Amino acid sequence: MHYLLALLLALAPTPTPSTCTYDTWTWSVVARRAVAHQHVSKPYAQVTLRERAPDWTVTGCTLCREDQEKVAVTGMPPVLVCRYFAPRIEEALQAAANAGARIETLVGYRVGRSGGPVVRGKRTQFGWHAFGEALDINPNANGLYHHCQRNTPAPRTEAELGTCRRRLGGFWRPGSQPASSLTPDGAIVAAFRRVLGWHWGGERIDTMKDLMHVSPDGY
């Protein structure tokens, strides 16, 4: 009943905010840290195409704090995600927890240029997190790995990471930490696939495996 009420409220027309505010930064691949921190505050009518998610015409997700909503798992601080997805994200998290997953840390909405081509040592594009359309789950047990071999399937064991090397977050050890680890057949990935149709970052076929990450396309 609680979920149905939340879903109906989410589907109801939402008044357009009067303002758009967010804090942003750019990732420097040279310094390996966020730089160029900036606070943005302006009339909502001035939101640009670049500040709107690729699926904005359906979801209404933007960089604006005003388009985000809190979601939570019992016993954990809430995180912000795009309002359009909030009820289903909460449902997926609860379903995973009910199936035995241990959800210890969540990272949702954060506005930064962390993807895309590198220009003068800096990333140039906003990723799904910036629009509230991604979660990093248990990053201390599900690291971001790089130097992976291209076109490899989602790993099920540490050995299947092959040439991958950990870049951020904790070591991924699904054999010894099954409840905290994201795996292709595990409760967390299954719940997000079933409830939202989202993909796991371990399914990427470029040179990275983002094992903490779920989003519309896994990137």
Report helix, strand or coil for 71: strand
Predicted confidence (pLDDT) per residue in 145-197, tens digit: 999 999 999 999 999 999 999 999 999 999 999 999 999 999 999 999 999 99
Q: Residue with structure tokens 């906003």?
A: 126
Burial of 21 (0-12, 13-18, 19+ CB in 10 A): middle
Provide the whole-model pTM.
Answer: 0.90
Token duo for residue 110? 């954060």
Q: Measuring CA to CA, which residue among 174, 113, 184 is closest to residue 141?
A: 174
Comparison of pLDDT for 9 and 163, the residue scoring more: 163
Query: Mean of the pLDDT values across residues 25-49?
Result: 96
Predicted confidence (pLDDT) per residue in 58-103, tens digit: 999 999 999 999 998 888 899 999 999 999 999 999 999 999 999 9
Predicted confidence (pLDDT) per residue in 90-138, tens digit: 999 999 999 999 999 999 999 999 988 999 999 999 999 999 999 999 9
Q: Name the E strands within the chain.
A: 19-28, 33-43, 68-71, 79-82, 106-107, 113-119, 122-126, 135-137, 144-146, 165-168, 199-200, 209-210, 213-215
Task: Name the domain count of the chain.
Answer: 1
Burial 46-77 (b: 16+ CB within 10 A, else e): ebeeebbbeebeebbbbbbbbbbbebebeeee
CA 109 from chain centre, in angstroms, equals 7
Q: Is the pLDDT of residue 204 over 70?
A: yes
Q: Is the pLDDT of residue 209 over 80?
A: yes
Least confident of 5-14, 38-47, 76-85, 159-168: 5-14
Sequence-distant (6+) residues with CB within 8 A of 13 are: none
Give me the pLDDT at residue 11, please.
55
Domain that holds residue 71: 2-11+18-215
Query: Mean of the pLDDT values across residues 26-54?
Result: 96
